[in-house]
Amino acid sequence: MKKKGMSVTSKQHIAGWVYLAPATALIVVMSFYPIIQAVITSLKTGSSANMQWAEPIVYNYTRMFQDKLFMRSVGNTFLYLLVQVPIMLILAMLLAQILNNKDLKFRGFFRTCVFLPCATSLVSYSLIFKSLFATQGLINSILVNLGILEENYNFLGTAGSAKAIIIIALLWRWTGYNMVFFLAGLQNIEYSVYEAAKIDGANGWQTFWRITVPLLMPTIVMTAIMSINGTLQLFDESMNLTSGGPANSTITMSHYIYNNSFGQGVANFGYASAMSFFIFILVAILSAISMKVGDKRD
């Protein structure tokens, strides 16, 4: 005869929901509620103290595509994304492959040196690169003394070189971070797989392309999604390294959103929210594409 009351399974289900409730409540309050509020705000115009529904309701969204400065920020952000992310992931994978060699001496030291930049504050490293590439900075001094340049060059005052410096800074800051993920993925691959490939006559390139890359595909997809997400929200480098200049030629979407919210003296939260939701949609679409491309399951 069953005793009266709840079964063990029911008690376990209730206990599970009790443990999940605090985290669920925090996610709803801290994530989903702000997203919903941002969508509602994006349909309004006016200052923060006197916001009204836009007429037409999608005014802020149509305004985005007519805003030349915003479209320039979109182009700059995608330039950083298309140039920096592939180079960074390839470098991270190659460094992980080198530092995973069991015969390499001082592996721990070299891993620490490569990983160390990502422990640096975003603001601090941006200011360091700004001082390095200043007109009277260290890089100019070295290039002039070596005879490569006849006189100091304004790296941060020229659009092309300023964009290149942002890309270099991003590579320096984030390559080691992604290398750690690839290193963890490589250490989960049995060494016997490589030994079998060597016995079958596979060379280094064949081993890397036909064994390492397919087995690392989940890690590649994860790092690609994180890198895409981070680059589309790029702010610190544009703000602290170049201040969006010269003439807004390096400004990013997040930097432009900040200017519309706080940086220009006008709290245009409706328009800023619309642009933020646009970034949210871009992140979702590109992440879905990355997952679809990386999913090789039959």
Mean pLDDT by 10 residues, the chain (298 residues): 66 88 92 90 84 90 93 95 95 91 85 89 90 92 92 92 95 94 89 82 82 88 91 92 91 93 80 92 88 67
b/e map 280-292, b = 16+ CB within 10 Å:
eebbeebbeebee
Other C-beta atoms within 10 Å of 144: how many?
14
DSSP-derived secondary structure letter, 83: H
Predicted local confidence at residue 175, as pLDDT: 94
Confirm if 54 and 43 have CB atoms less than 8 A apart: yes
Predicted local confidence at residue 298, as pLDDT: 47
Task: Give the C-alpha separation, 288 to 25, whole Å.
Answer: 26
* Three-state DSSP state, 182: helix
Split into its structural domains, the chain has a count of 1
In a domain, 35, yes or no: no
Confirm if 253 and 275 have CB atoms less than 8 A apart: yes
Predicted local confidence at residue 274, as pLDDT: 93
109 lies in which domain range? 67-294
Predicted local confidence at residue 1, as pLDDT: 44
In a domain, 1, yes or no: no
Where does residue 276 rank: exposed (0-12), middle (13-18), buried (19+ CB within 10 A)?
Answer: buried
Confirm if 162 and 203 have CB atoms less than 8 A apart: no
In a domain, 14, yes or no: no
Domain harbouring 232, CATH code:
1.10.3720.10
- Give me the torsion for CA of 141, 145, 147, 148, rounded to 10°: -30
In a domain, 55, yes or no: no
CA distances from 58 to 24, 33, 94, 121 (A): 32, 21, 46, 38
In a domain, 8, yes or no: no
In a domain, 52, yes or no: no
Stated pTM of the model: 0.87
In a domain, 263, yes or no: yes
In a domain, 44, yes or no: no
pLDDT tens for residues 30-67?
989 988 998 999 999 887 678 889 889 999 999 999 99
Predicted local confidence at residue 5, as pLDDT: 62
In this structure, which amino acid lies at residue 73? S
Structure tokens at 156: 């941060």
